[in-house]
Structures are given as structure tokens and as C-alpha cells.
Amino acid sequence: MIEILTIAALDWRNGHEFALQAMQILQDRGQDFQYKLVGDGDFLEATAFARHELGLQERVHIIRSASEKELDDLLRQADVFLLAAVSADGRHALVHAVEYDLPVVVTDIPQLLVDIPPDARYWVVSRRDPHAMADCLQIVFF
């Protein structure tokens, strides 16, 4: 089973709806994964509702807050870090994931890409494209 992790505020800039759609695509393809989404914010209710509507309650876990130790544990347990942002946000968590030597799937936002060192393992996908996210995750990690 693949452990996918996102750490980002629950707001429109972070593209969580596209990440959830990508998870539904992976589920429909029969892939075995767990997706942990760490964050809180104005889009909590919308994110939880989308998880329900897409039938992802067993695979997607929303964690509203985590201590530094809990974040450390989550980063160590994850197989891949996903940042589905549609706007430049979530840079801190992205840098943190790279520091943990996690492979990263990130959207094509130039402001995010400058934070990734050239020797990091990362794949860039188009913003707002859940099929590209799912395809990348499937090709690389399944």
C-alpha cells in the first residue's frame, strides 16, 4: 500500500479538490493507497464533503492539526508527498518533504518549483489536472 501525504491549509489555493479527484481515479483503477491530508481552514467542510461524495472515506484521512512530532512521523511514514496547488502556497511543507528525501508530485507553479533542489526526486504535473496527478502517481509508485 502506498502512503500519500499532503500538508497544506484547506483553502482554494492548495487544489485539494483536484487531489481528491486524483485519489478517486486511483481508487477506480484498483490501486491500494492511503491519502493523509493534514490541514485546517475555511474549506474543511467542502473537503470533507468532497471526500464523501467521491466515496473516499476509507482511503482519505483529514487530519486537522498535528504537532511537530506528529508531522515528523507522518513525513517519515509517507511514500510520496503530493502538492496539488493552483496558486503559490504550501511552500514550507514542500521544502520539508524534500528535506525528508520524499519523492514529490507537485503542480507546475514556478514559485513552488524554485524551492526544489535539482537533486530531489520530483515530478511536475499540470495544475487542475487530476488525471495527470493520478497517472503520475500510478506510473511512478504503483
Whole-number pLDDT of residue 121: 95
Four-residue CA torsion sign, 66, 67, 68, 71: negative
pLDDT for position 45: 97
Instruction: Give the pTM.
Output: 0.96
The helix or strand, by DSSP H or E, that contains position 16, with its residue range, turns out to be helix 16-28
Give the CATH number for residue 86: 3.40.50.2000
Residue 126, pLDDT score = 97
Q: What is the pLDDT of residue 90?
A: 66
Res 55: pLDDT: 98
pLDDT by residue for the chain (142 residues), tens only, comes to 999 999 999 999 999 999 999 999 999 999 999 999 999 999 999 999 999 999 999 999 999 999 999 999 999 999 999 999 999 866 788 999 999 999 999 999 999 898 899 999 999 999 999 999 999 999 999 8
25: cell is: 481515479
Answer for the pair 37, 69: CB distance below 8 angstroms, yes or no. Answer: no
- What CA–CA distance (Å, rounded) separates 101 from 99? 5
What's the domain count of the chain? 1
The grid cell for 106 is 507537485
- Closest by CA to 61, choosing from 53, 71, 51, is 51
| Residue 21 structural domain | 2-141
